[in-house]
Amino acid sequence: MKPIHTIQRRKSRQIFVGDVAIGGDAPISVQSMTNTETTNVKATVAQIQAIQNAGADLVRVSVPTMDAAEAFKAIKKQVNIPLITDIHFDYKIALKVAEYGADCLRINPGNIGREDRIREVVASAIDHNIPIRIGVNAGSLEKDLQKKYTESTPEAMVESAFRHIDILDKLNFDNFKISLKASEIFMTVFAYQQLASQIDNPLHLGITEAGSLRSGTVKSSIGLGLLLSEGIGDTIRVSLASDPVDEVRVGFDILKSLNLRQKGVNLIACPSCSRQKFDVIKVVNELESRLEDITEPIDVAVIGCVVNGPGEAKAVSVGLTGGEPNLLYLDGKTHSKITNENLVDELEAQVRNQLKNKTQIA
């Protein structure tokens, strides 16, 4: 299905996190964060691999202690996706994980401490050719900014960001990206809009502490959707109180909905009503679960009746229209009649066959 609108992305400089390009003309990357104890190497590696298998481009790992830094060394050797290390306060941890192969340091220069410590971290980032992410969060603004603005505001977040930016600028370090996160949608959106117009560094988007799988998905979709539709954003994380794999799936669904990334199955389905000729909800849920491993882009439509079914089915690679009989469409053309008994099996087989044929042609 061809999009009728193309989003013009904000022009930003490009940096690299491992081999993943961020900014410039690179695709908007999707990342998640582990929630295992980092010192539990086996569990953390398993979760990183699950996040990667879900399609993530990057994974962030919290490193709160030196023991966690030592565990990170072992973790890094067992995975092949770029890892961002999340560090606060202790500059020695940043130095250690840089030595151990971190692909990006997520820090706030201002909370690392004295200028000499900041210089050491930046020098290490330069030596190891790794970027820094400045992460501003509405819930942890500097005390003087809290006093100045009396509460968290977009302006306070932007001022905090520029404090950190100024530190890096004085050290002639421009290999960084920035995030400005709040749990309130419009505070986040307004902060990013203000900063995006003043700098050209890549921006990492997120609505922090968005909530549960359902409510967090809604908040993130609205907030990130507003920014992405304006062309703002180079990498995203959907922050959910849920399995990190869910964050990746929701992130890609947001990007696919805006035609900013084409990865995996784009499933079009009707909400179902009494006109349906098969159990649409059951078929869609089972089909979606079966096709989670697919990373190649493909459009699939599952429509329960003939009101909108033929029109939707003709616009996708694989389409199903409920009727008497149900009709299967391939590449916009009627292919065959299909019974209710084997709907999911037949649809899955046709999707995989279409992808196989496209690969052979390519």
- Evaluate if residue 122 carries a pLDDT over 70: yes
Q: Report phi then psi at 96, rounded to 5.
A: -70, -45
**Residue from 300, 324, 327 nearest 312 by CA:** 300
Task: Return the minimum-mean-pLDDT range out of 60-64, 67-71, 247-251, 355-359.
Answer: 355-359
Structure tokens belonging to residue 80 = 């092949």
Cα distance between residue 222 and residue 210, in whole Å: 11
- Taking residue 339's Cβ as centre, other Cβ atoms within 10 Å add up to 10
pLDDT at 112: 77
Q: What is the arithmetic mean of pLDDT over 195-205?
A: 97
- Condensed to tens digits (0 to 9), the pLDDT of residues 37-51 reads 999 999 999 999 999
pLDDT at 1: 59
pLDDT at 134: 93
> What is the average pLDDT value for the chain, to the nearest integer?
93
- Condensed to tens digits (0 to 9), the pLDDT of residues 8-25 reads 999 999 999 999 999 999
Continuous H helices in 79-142: 91-99, 109-112, 115-127
Answer for the pair 295, 55: CB distance below 8 angstroms, yes or no.
yes
**Residue from 237, 260, 188 nearest 17 by CA:** 237
- Evaluate if residue 346 carries a pLDDT over 80: yes
- Evaluate if residue 26 carries a pLDDT over 90: yes
Q: Residue 268 has what DSSP assignment?
A: E
Structure tokens belonging to residue 3 = 């999009």
pLDDT at 140: 85
- Condensed to tens digits (0 to 9), the pLDDT of residues 284-339 reads 999 999 998 888 899 999 999 998 888 998 999 999 999 999 999 999 999 999 99
pLDDT at 345: 94
Q: What is the arithmetic mean of pLDDT over 149-175?
A: 94
Task: Return the minimum-mean-pLDDT range out of 93-102, 105-114, 215-224, 247-256.
Answer: 105-114
- Condensed to tens digits (0 to 9), the pLDDT of residues 65-104 reads 999 999 999 999 999 999 999 998 899 999 999 999 999 9
- Evaluate if residue 129 carries a pLDDT over 70: yes
Cα distance between residue 331 and residue 314, in whole Å: 7
Give, in degrees to the nearest 5, the angle at Cα 231 between 227 and 233: 65
* Extended strands (E) in 199-332: 204-205, 235-236, 265-269, 298-303, 318-321, 326-330
pLDDT at 350: 95
pLDDT at 358: 81
- Residues in a beta bridge with 22: 15
Question: pLDDT > 90: what percent of the chain?
Answer: 81
Cα distance between residue 207 and residue 224, in whole Å: 7
Structure tokens belonging to residue 123 = 């020098």
Answer for the pair 27, 234: CB distance below 8 angstroms, yes or no.
no
Q: Where does the pLDDT of residue 5 fall: very low under 50, low under 70, confident under 90, or very high at 90 and above? A: confident
Amino acid, single-letter form, for residue 187: M
